[in-house]
Each structure stands twice: as C-alpha cells, then as structure tokens.
Structure 1
C-alpha cells in the first residue's frame, strides 16, 4: 500500500472545511429515546431465551416417548440375548449329556449287557468303520455266490446242461439252467423246449441254440433221431462238425442217450464235408478225466465259466497241480492260484482230503470260492463224493463251511434264464 502524502496540517484544514452538525432536539428527548431503545433491547434479550426454552421442552416432549420405547427395545434385546445365551448353553449341555449317555451306552454295549436300551443305543453309536466293514462283507457274500448247481438247488427243479461253444470255437462250455419239474414232460422234452430261452450272447458265448434240426426221442430204447434241413449249418467246415459232435456227446451224456440216428429232411443219413456220409453217431470212448479251468468271455472282472478239458493223468493230485497252470492254447486260465500249496489224501468211501500248507494264504473272496468249485468239479470226475479242506486260514468261504466235508456239485456253471 502506498504511504499517505497528507500532512497533519493538511488533514486538519480539510476537516475544518466539512459542514457543522447541529442537533436542535431537547436533551431530555434524546435521553428518553435512548431509554426506549434500551428497553426494547432488554425485552428482545428476554424473549429469545424463552423461545429457546419452549422449543427445548417441545423437543423433549417429542423425544421422550421414543427414548422410552428405544430403552424398552434395548432391554428386550438384552433379555433376548440373555435367553439365547441361556438356550445355547442349555442345548450344549443337553448335547453333552446325550453324548455322555451314548458313551456310557457304548461302554455298556462293549460290556455285552444285552439290554434293550443298550441294543438301541448300539444302532446309533456303532462306529462308521464297522458299518462299512459290515456293508463290504455283505456285498462280498452277495457277489460271491456259487456258480455251480448243488443238491439243495434241486427242490422242485430239473437241471438241464447245454454244451455251448465259445465265440472263438475253442472250447465247449457246459451251462446249466434250472426249470420247474413237469411230470408230464420227459427231461429231453424240457431240454428241447428250453433251447430257445438260452441267452448265449449275453453270457459271452456263441449263439448256438436252438439247434437247426427236428428231434425224435425214443425213451425206451434210449435213442435220439436228429433230422436236419438240407441247408443245415453243421457241414460248413471241420470245425463246425467237431463242435456238433461235442455238443451231441454232451447231450447223450446228460440225457442218458445211447445212440443218435442222423436224417436229412426225412431221409436217412447226413452228408458231412469232413466226416462224409454218416447214418448214426456213437461217440468214441474217451480216456482220461475232466479237469476244470477258468474262461472269462466277458472280461477278467466277470464271473468265470468253469470249462473242462479231458486229460490223461494218473491221480487227482496230478490233476490239481495241472489246474495251477494256464492253458494259453485254449485261452483258459489256471483255476488254482500258483502260490497255494497243499497235500492230497484219498480216503475210503469217496472222500478226498486236501490239507493246505502253512505258507498258503486262503482268503474269503470270490476267486477262492471259484477255485474251490473247480476243485470240487474235478474231484467229482475222479469219482469223489466229498472233499474236506483242512488248515485253511478261514472257516468259511462264501457258502462253503470249511469245518465240514463239502459235497461235489451236480452240474457246472449255473445261469439264470430270462423270465
């Protein structure tokens, strides 16, 4: 800011030049006016606090009920929280009580007191591992059912065994089905009626039945006549002729037939490409015994078929040892594990004793059950009626009670027919 250039004398001169102020009012009038103004100022100072106080009272009147309601709500919230806390503590206490009761019941169950309350508690306190083990055990037992036909299966039933080729035409698989007994029908008639019900393809075998022929059965003479059409499929190759021969041999063996006559559309004889003209079929006498191996046409995880091969062996011991080897030329698997060692002893009255060595591990599983069935079927063909298994690690395998003598099966490879 610039400094003023006016001197004191100049300012005084300028002030003297201003017009003079003159008040002609009486001094009393001036005083009275001042007093009036002072009174108004005092009144204004008193009114404002009064208005403020009134407003405060009004605000308080409005807010107090809300404050009281809020306080009541807050008190209820506190009470509710207290109740909830008490309820949670009570539930926790009850759960602890239940848990303690369950633990006490479990202890009582472990002590095997056998009361009804203990049994009921056991349903809820049984460890999960034990439940899983029980389910697994039931599953194993249900899946590990025998594959052969046994004496107890024949109540009101007739067993029919069909010789069915596998898809590679390497093996003849005996498959047994159960049908209701019918006194009005011969076993061969039941056999013929059931041919069309077989499900070979589902079983992983060749679709072979029903045979393309008409049959006449002479029960008195134990003779069967087979009449084929001119375009029959059994002379296409030497393989088809061999398969037919094996199938017919099986039919004769299972149905007590001694002779089969051949015909073609009512005329005597059948012309074969390999065997030539044949009027009848009489199976050759076969030497040796049937030894059973495993065939898995539906994969290694499926139930195996027990397939017999006829071999000339000196004893049942040699037969059982042979069953520990695979037969790769026939696509057959060993039916007795290689690591299972045993001794055999032939006892009088058709009994066979098999004693496992201490190093052999015998497990209650499906493969061991099927191995036992293979042993029983082979023992049957060696003219044994029962087999006793000793020194096994378990007392039971599937349905087989190893503490008892096991009866040989009636027939191999039981399969169900469609309804």
Structure 2
C-alpha cells in the first residue's frame, strides 16, 4: 500500500506539472461534443473478465480526483475569460459604434451648435441691445414722467400781455375788438391803442373791418359786416346795422355774432345794442330767431388761456370759450369758486387753465373795491410767463365781480414779471394788447 501511495503521489505531482490546458470552447459546446461522441461510439461487448473495467474505473476516478481541482479553476478562469472577453469585445464594438455615431452626431451637433450659437449670439445681441435700450427708456421715463390731465400747465412763451394803465401814454386810449377762431369757435378780444382824439366807435368799426388777425393765427371778426352808430340821444342804446348783402346767418354764425357782441360791448361801455337790417329793427339770427335788440348781462366769466396755431397765447373768458359760469343749480359761481374753476378747463376744451393746480387758494376776502386772495404757504407763482398770465387772469376775473384792486397774499409767492406783489394791484384796462 505504501508503495502504491508513493506511486500515486508521483503521478499526482506529474500531473500537476503538466501545463495548463485552456479550452476556448464553452461548457455547453463541450457537453454537446461529448454527447455526440457518446452516441457515435458503438458499444463494445463486455469483456470476459472484470479486471479491466475495474481498473479503468479506478484510474478514471483517480484521474478525476487529480484533475478536478485544476479543471475547476481552469474552467472558472475560462468562464470568467469567456464572459469578460465577449463583453469587452462587445463593449469595444459598441464603443466603436458609439464612437462612430458620436463622431457623426458631434459633427452634426457641431454644425447645429455653430448655427445655434450664431442664432443665440444674434438673439443675445438683440436682447443686449434691448436691455441697453430699456434703461434709456426708463431714464427718459424718469426724466419726463407721464402727467395726468390738469397736473401740469404748459409754458406760454408768447403770451400777449394785458393793457394796463401804465401802458397808456398821454393822448392815447384803448379800443378792443372781438376776433374769432372758426375752427374752435373761440372768441378772442384784441386790444389796440388809438389816438385819444379818434372816436372810439369809429375806430372799433374800422378795426373790425381791416384787421384780419392772420398774423396771430386768428380769423376776422364776426362783426366786420356791421355799420355802427351811437344813439341819437343820451342813454339810448348803440345801433348795429347789418349790411343788405349779408346772407341769412346760420346757427353757428349767429352764435359767434352774439358772443362777439358780448365780448366787445363792455369795453365800449355799452350794455345794450339795437339790431337793424334795411333800416328796420330785427335781424334773423339762427336759433335766436329775430332779434331787434340784445342786452349784455354783466356776469362772472373766469379767464383761460387760448393758444393759436401761430403759438400766440391769449386770455379769453370762459363765456367766449364755451365754459359754464354756473353751478349745477344754475347759480353763478362766486369769486372764490370762479378762481377754483380757472385751475382746470375740463376735457376736450380748446383752452387751458390759467391758474396752476398746485396754487392752493385758502381764502378770498372782500373789502369794498379790494379783493384779497390768500394762498397757502407752499404756493409759488411761476417764474416764467405763466406767472404774469396767472396774475392778469385773476385781475380780470376780479374786475367782472366789480373789484378794482387785488392783493396777492402768501408766505412764499415770489414775484411775477411786470408786477410787484407787495401792494394791491389795479385791474388791467383790457386784455391782449397788440401794436398796430
């Protein structure tokens, strides 16, 4: 037994010294080959003796005992190699395919990215330019914020100032005629200085016929085709003779005639006029019907700013600008209420406010022929032409209420061009002085 054991040991050692066999076939392939070989091999007849099969079986068992550990490790290594190699090859193949596809896609993506980068750069340039422009728009918005209607009064650089007593030199006197703007139906009184020796009514008639108002952006007077004459006796009304060739007046023309009479008679010192045609009393005036005489009622008017297409600004009455002078109950506004109304002209009006809205009038005090207009401490008279315009608008409004002087009172009023606010100011003689 001992000898046999040593022989087995040597055999085992010899077998271990054999080089490792690597079979590239899979386990399934080896199994299939064994099964095929088994089926093809014919069965041999049994040997007459049992020794050989027994020895063969013992040798096979011994061989298996020797080979199984190595074969197991070999098969495990082969299996791992088999699993890793195809996977690596597959991964390599897939990587190669993916690389090819990625290369193509990268080229396509590069082209697309190039075009997209161009588009994106252009869009970014547009966005950047828009972002650069937006601050400018915001700056402009900050510099010139939107102003609601009535919050800001325009600057009237070409305001035609009123005629004051100081403007009239010795040997002169004033005459005022009514011009019109046919587009807006606003009546604008224009004042001229004439020689004191000239008869006022004759000068009035001549100027209404001659002066067209074109140089200041106005239309001729609605009264230019009328002959005027004073009453034959004292205290008799003024007579207005309409010319024979004058066609029948329309409603709008009649309205302009009546307003022109109202805006001019008071500067002539008249309050009633007789209307005649062909030597007989009575003239057809549209909605007014046949008028034989017309009485001008003294009432508060309020004064506003009218600017022509020649950029000339004039003071006009609320009555001449179709602005109501009465409240909802049909009562005339008080002097205080009239001044408040002069701070806004209303929507769709052809005129502008003459008193800025930030000028707060706290009180109006009446002392005989003096009106004291008291402003709040934060009210400040504009330093440009608007300041003089506002002062004169208040003075004319006060004159309609019978006041001869106005004092402007406030802690921070400042100064107005042409006027000293330290003392009461006399009301002007007439509005809108123009040199002939």
User: 1:211 pairs with 209, 220, 224, which one?
Assistant: 224
Task: Say what the alpha-carbon RMSD is for the aligned residues.
Answer: 2.7
Deviation at 1:284, TM superposition (A): 6.0
In structure 1, the partner of 2:329 is none
> Where does residue 173 of structure 2 map in the other structure?
158
2:378 and 2:412 in contact (8 A); partners too: no
Give the counterpart of 1:283 among 292, 295, 299. 295
1:245-394 correspondence to structure 2 within 5 Å: 245-257=258-270, 259-278=272-291, 280-283=292-295, 285=297, 288-298=299-309, 302-309=312-319, 311-312=325-326, 313-391=332-410, 393=412
The unaligned stretches of length 5 or more in structure 2 are 1-156, 327-331
Is 2:158–2:312's contact at 8 Å kept on the other side of the alignment? Answer: no
Distance 1:248 1:314 in 2: 22
In structure 2, distance between residues paired with 1:244 and 1:191: 15
How far apart are the structure 2 equivalents of 1:338 and 1:412?
23
Contact 2:318–2:325 under 8 Å retained in 1: no
C-alpha contact 2:315 2:432 (8 A) present in aligned 1: yes
Change (3 A) 1:219 1:372: farther
Query: Aligned-pair distance for 1:318?
Result: 1.2
Equivalent pair of 2:160/2:313 in contact (CA under 8 Å) = no
Contact 1:213 1:228 in 2 (8 A): yes
Structure 1 residue runs without a partner (length 5+): 1-142
Pair 1:394–1:358, CA change in 2 (3 A): closer
For residues 174 and 383 of structure 1, the distance between their equivalents in structure 2, rounded to whole angstroms, comes to: 20
Matched, 1:201 2:214: yes
CA-to-aligned-CA distance 1:295-321 (integer Å, 9 cap, x gap): 11136x543333333613442221111
Three-state SS of the structure 2 residue aligned to 1:190 is helix
Cα separation, 1, equivalents of 2:405 and 2:296: 29
Contact persistence 1:341–1:357 (CA under 8 A): yes
User: Match of 1:243, SS?
Assistant: helix
Larger CA deviation: 173-182 vs 351-360? 351-360
Separation in 1, partners of 2:424, 2:381: 17
Q: Distance in 1 between matches of 2:406 and 2:359?
A: 17
The Cα shift of 1:219 comes to 5.5
Q: 158-167 vs 245-254, which deviates more?
A: 245-254
* Residue in structure 2 matching 1:404, options 415, 423, 433: 423
1:144 to 1:224, Cα distance in 2 relative to 1, 3 A:
closer
Would you say the 8 A contact 1:145–1:399 is kept in 2?
Answer: no
The answer to whether the 8 Å contact 2:325/2:333 transfers is no
The verdict on how the C-alpha distance between 1:369 and 1:265 changes in structure 2, with shifts beyond 3 A counting, is same
SS of 2:188 mapped into structure 1 = strand
Is the 8 Å Cα contact of residues 148 and 409 (structure 1) preserved in structure 2?
A: yes
- Measured after TM superposition, the shift of residue 289 of structure 1 is 0.8
Checking the alignment, whether the CA contact within 8 Å between 2:217 and 2:312 is kept in structure 1 is no
Q: Corresponding residue for 2:187?
A: 172
Aligned partner of 1:241 in structure 2 is 254
Deviation at residue 169 of structure 1 after TM alignment: 4.6
Question: Whole-Å Cα distance in 2 between the matches of residues 271 and 356 of structure 1?
Answer: 48
Q: Is the 8 A contact 1:171 1:330 kept in 2?
A: no
Of 237, 243, 247, the match for 1:223: 237
Q: Is contact 1:236–1:273 with CA below 8 Å preserved after alignment? A: yes
Query: What is the distance in 1 between the residues matched to 2:366 and 2:260?
Result: 35
- The answer on whether the counterparts of 1:364 and 1:394 sit within 8 Å (CA) in structure 2 is no
Runs of 4+ in structure 1 deviating by more than 6 angstroms, as ranges, are 143-146
SS in 2 for 1:339: coil
Over 3 Å counting, the alpha-carbon distance change for 1:329 and 1:369 in structure 2 is same
Q: Which has the larger radius of gyration?
A: 2
The TM-score, its normalising length taken from structure 1, stands at 0.57
1:330 Cα deviation (Å)? 3.6
Residues 146, 373 of structure 1: 8 Å contact kept:
no
Does the aligned pair in 2 maintain the 1:167–1:204 contact within 8 Å? no
